[in-house]
């Protein structure tokens, strides 16, 4: 008898260990438009779309199972519906230094164009704009003639 197969379908949340929750909330809400919400007796999460980032401040044990929580060790990619020129303009207006890009990349949903910068803890942050999906060739309604020639 075989055991059932586990199949993950999406990401619900991730956890960032940060040096200062207030500074992190300020950055992610003002630069990336996330919403800060309190939960579980004063903990803080950053919400966006259908996901969230829970914040743990270094030196404050929230989960004893975490072994190596370190600020600045994450590499995160966020998708936006903004245009890349608008992304760059918005980051510059907020004093965020772009360290790489715009450059082509391949993400989970396809090809995209990305820029990279650091958050206050020096986590590497990528903001990407998905490339438009290629248009599928139109198939004629009567394809019998085409199929005969194959």
Catalytic residue status for 35: no
Share of the chain above pLDDT 90, in %: 67
Domain ranges for the chain, please list them.
13-61+71-133
What is the assigned CATH class of domain 13-61+71-133? alpha beta
CA distance 68 to 60: 13
Q: Residues 22, 100, 122, 126: which is the catalytic one?
A: 126
pLDDT band at 135 (very low <50, low <70, confident <90, very high): low
Binning the chain into helix, strand and coil, the percentages to the nearest 5 are 20, 35, 45
Residue 146 has pLDDT above 90, yes or no: no
Contacts of residue 22, Cβ cutoff 8 Å, sequence gap at least 6: none
Interior angle at CA 58, CA 93 and CA 77, nearest 5? 45
Q: Please tell me the predicted confidence (pLDDT) of residue 145.
A: 61
Q: Please tell me the predicted confidence (pLDDT) of residue 41.
A: 85
> Over the stretch 82-114, which tens digit does the pLDDT of each residue have?
999 999 999 999 999 999 999 999 999 999 999
């Amino acid at each position: 008898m075989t055991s059932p197969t586990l199949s993950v379908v999406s990401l619900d949340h991730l956890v960032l260990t940060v040096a200062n929750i207030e500074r992190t909330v300020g950055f992610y809400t003002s630069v990336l438009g996330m919403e800060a919400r309190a939960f579980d007796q004063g903990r803080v999460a950053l919400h966006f779309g259908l996901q969230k980032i829970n914040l743990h401040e270094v030196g404050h044990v929230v989960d004893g199972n975490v072994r190596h929580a370190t600020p600045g060790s994450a590499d995160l990619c966020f998708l936006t519906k903004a245009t890349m020129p608008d992304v760059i303009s918005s980051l510059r207006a907020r004093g965020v230094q772009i360290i790489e890009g715009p450059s082509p990349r391949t993400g989970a949903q396809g090809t995209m164009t990305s820029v990279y910068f650091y958050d206050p803890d020096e986590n590497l942050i990528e903001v990407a704009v998905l490339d438009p999906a290629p248009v599928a060739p139109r198939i004629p309604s009567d394809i019998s003639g085409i199929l005969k020639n194959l």
